[in-house]
Structure 1
Amino acid sequence: MTSDFDIREYTRTAAGSHEATLPLAAFAEHPLTEQTLQTLSYLRDLEDFTMHHMRDVLVTPSHKDARLTAFLATWAFEKFWIADAFDRIIAVHQDFTPATHRARSGVVRFAREAIDRVSPIVTAIRSNLIGEDIIAGHVTRGYIDELVSRVAYSQLAKNDPNEALAEVLTGFQALRDRHLQFFEGETVRRLEESVSARKLTRSSLRRSWVPTGTHEQPIQETRLMMKYVFSDAEGRAGVSTVDRGIDALPGLRGLGLLARATRHYGVRATA
């Protein structure tokens, strides 16, 4: 719970660059598969999107909470270096070109830049009209993203049994366990304290939830990632685990968010 999370210890021990500890020579000797690299590239882009996401969060009443702001800044810092590590692993595979990079045309970049300029203004006006209850939605989404990441890391390691990959993902999951702990405590506390926060969060999730950053990616790449991670028996079990975790939150039972998202992107269970 939130009261057990030592924010000062967390900010003091935040993990920075992983360059010195990455087993890059092992990846050069035992390369990852094409599908694994594409999925890793996709996950790298989601980690990269954290800075954009945090900018939108901190124009809301969230910025008035010093403890939450300290966590988010440190969280984004750690995720930046996870993205950097994924970049370094991908770079070892010189014959691989991430499909998401090929897909981003000048028109797409221009549209993205235009949205980036307008989005914080719209978010600030809307969220400040709603008030502090919107914070419950932010931390709930963070908690769900961490649940999803646990499944994604586990499936990535299973689908490509590469020892170096397992070592890296295990280490990153240990970092993200602290993210999960904070978000869980904040989510439960804020949802328990406010009926209107529960109603607002439930409505927002039901209307628009996908893993944070997914909507920024080409649809075809999202479909490929979802299929690679969630279509087999273990992946579907992971979907159920995430949705049960959401069910356990105050006021959020029965949403089936990840099951709905995977269906939306055309994922069907395989034997």
Structure 2
Amino acid sequence: MNSNDEAPTTPPGTAGFNVREFARTAHGSHRGRLDLASLAEEPLDTDSLRLVRALRDMERTTLHRVRDLLVTATHKDARVTAFLTTWMFERYWIADALDAVLDASPAAHGLPSSAGPARRVLAERRERRGPIRRSLIANITGTQIVAEHVTTSLVDEWITQAAYRRLPGVSPAMASIIGPVVEIKQRHIHFLAEEAELRLGRSARARRITRRALRRSAWPLGSVDRSRHERTFFERQVFGDQSGRAEAARIRAMVAALPGIGPGVASTVESRLLP
């Protein structure tokens, strides 16, 4: 292992993103600002409501994701841990806002069940390990696991942001609801992108670990536990048409531009987004 791999877990010169200010200005409940009355006049169609439900479920998984991250060496990094605490708080309230949209939409009660058998993909078997086994393996990896965590979370945020951008186009009533959500998530992306650039840029081992995780992950993160028909729906709804394929190509370009990741891994990520 070279000297770069022994570097301290907190990157030097991280003045760009102010984590303390991020925590101070965290966004809580959105219900008082939601224009839910407009949804009665311009109701969402079934597919859009199904996408809202999928996004709500993704935001709700944050607590479990943070739990899995903090049983690894990531918990030793005070800067990342401080971010994750506020990130989890803000995603909880985003999920609550999406719950309000579903509650205000009578058609949401007739959505098909999200339950069903999971998709079985050999490359995703790593994600099916139990939390204890994942923790043991991650702790053997050491502090370089932080690069994997911030980078995969960054890619996940890019993907969910692409999904959110589909909603204002299907109903003008959603623009006032989704606009603030996208702005909140842009702060998350700012932090994660900054950390990914720093950590990947200084360690060859971190780059190897992260490339492997990007190739093997189910997207969006947590999809490994969702039913195969819900995963297929998300892929078709977000990335299935011409504009969706353009979004997938944009994500591929951003992944490829990360230090040491390259076009091969980026193309694998893109291929797993497309239906």
TM-score band by shorter chain is 0.7 to 0.9
- Contact 2:214/2:269, CA 8 A, preserved across alignment: no
Q: Structure 2: 5+ residue runs without aligned partners? A: 1-12, 119-128
SS of residue in 2 equivalent to 1:95: helix
- What's the counterpart of residue 113 of structure 1? none
Looking at structure 2, the residues matched to 63 and 208 of structure 1 have their Cα atoms a distance apart, in angstroms, of 21
- What's the counterpart of residue 183 of structure 1? 192
- Contact 2:160/2:220, CA 8 A, preserved across alignment: no
Please say if 1:239 is aligned against 2:224: no
CA offset at residue 216 of structure 1? 2.0
**What is the CA deviation profile of residues 194-230 of structure 1, one whole-angstrom value per residue up to 9, with x for unaligned ones?**
1100011111211234211222211101111211111
1:176-255 to 2 correspondence within 5 Å?
176-254=185-263, 255=265
Letter in 2 for 1:15: H
Looking at structure 1, the residues matched to 214 and 111 of structure 2 have their Cα atoms a distance apart, in angstroms, of 29
- What's the counterpart of residue 112 of structure 1? none
Letter in 2 for 1:4: G
Letter in 2 for 1:59: V
Looking at structure 1, the residues matched to 251 and 270 of structure 2 have their Cα atoms a distance apart, in angstroms, of 9
Larger displacement relative to structure 2 (254-263 or 186-195): 254-263
- What's the counterpart of residue 144 of structure 2? 133
2:45 to 33, 36, 43: 33
2:21 to 9, 15, 40: 9
1:142 to 149, 153, 170: 153
Letter in 2 for 1:232: D
- Contact 2:62/2:91, CA 8 A, preserved across alignment: yes
1:87 to 57, 80, 99: 99
TM-score normalised by structure 2 residue count: 0.86
Letter in 2 for 1:182: F
Letter in 2 for 1:200: I
- Contact 1:48/1:79, CA 8 A, preserved across alignment: yes
**What is the CA deviation profile of residues 55-81 of structure 1, one whole-angstrom value per residue up to 9, with x for unaligned ones?**
000100010111110100100110011
Looking at structure 2, the residues matched to 157 and 38 of structure 1 have their Cα atoms a distance apart, in angstroms, of 14
- What's the counterpart of residue 173 of structure 2? 164
Looking at structure 1, the residues matched to 29 and 139 of structure 2 have their Cα atoms a distance apart, in angstroms, of 35
Looking at structure 2, the residues matched to 128 and 144 of structure 1 have their Cα atoms a distance apart, in angstroms, of 22
SS of residue in 1 equivalent to 2:214: helix
- Contact 1:18/1:85, CA 8 A, preserved across alignment: yes
1:109-124 to 2 correspondence within 5 Å?
119-124=130-135
CA offset at residue 96 of structure 1? 2.1
TM-score normalised by structure 1 residue count: 0.87
- What's the counterpart of residue 122 of structure 2? none
CA offset at residue 156 of structure 1? 2.5
Please say if 1:63 is aligned against 2:72: no
For the aligned residues, what is the CA RMSD? Answer: 1.9
Letter in 2 for 1:75: W
Letter in 1 for 2:131: P
Looking at structure 2, the residues matched to 17 and 213 of structure 1 have their Cα atoms a distance apart, in angstroms, of 24
1:72 to 84, 88, 95: 84
Letter in 1 for 2:42: H
CA offset at residue 103 of structure 1? 4.2
Looking at structure 1, the residues matched to 268 and 56 of structure 2 have their Cα atoms a distance apart, in angstroms, of 22
Letter in 1 for 2:76: K
SS of residue in 2 equivalent to 1:3: coil
- Contact 2:115/2:226, CA 8 A, preserved across alignment: no
CA offset at residue 164 of structure 1? 2.0
**What is the CA deviation profile of residues 14-60 of structure 1, one whole-angstrom value per residue up to 9, with x for unaligned ones?**
00011111111111222111110001101110110111111000100
- What's the counterpart of residue 62 of structure 2? 50
CA offset at residue 97 of structure 1? 2.8
- Contact 1:41/1:98, CA 8 A, preserved across alignment: no
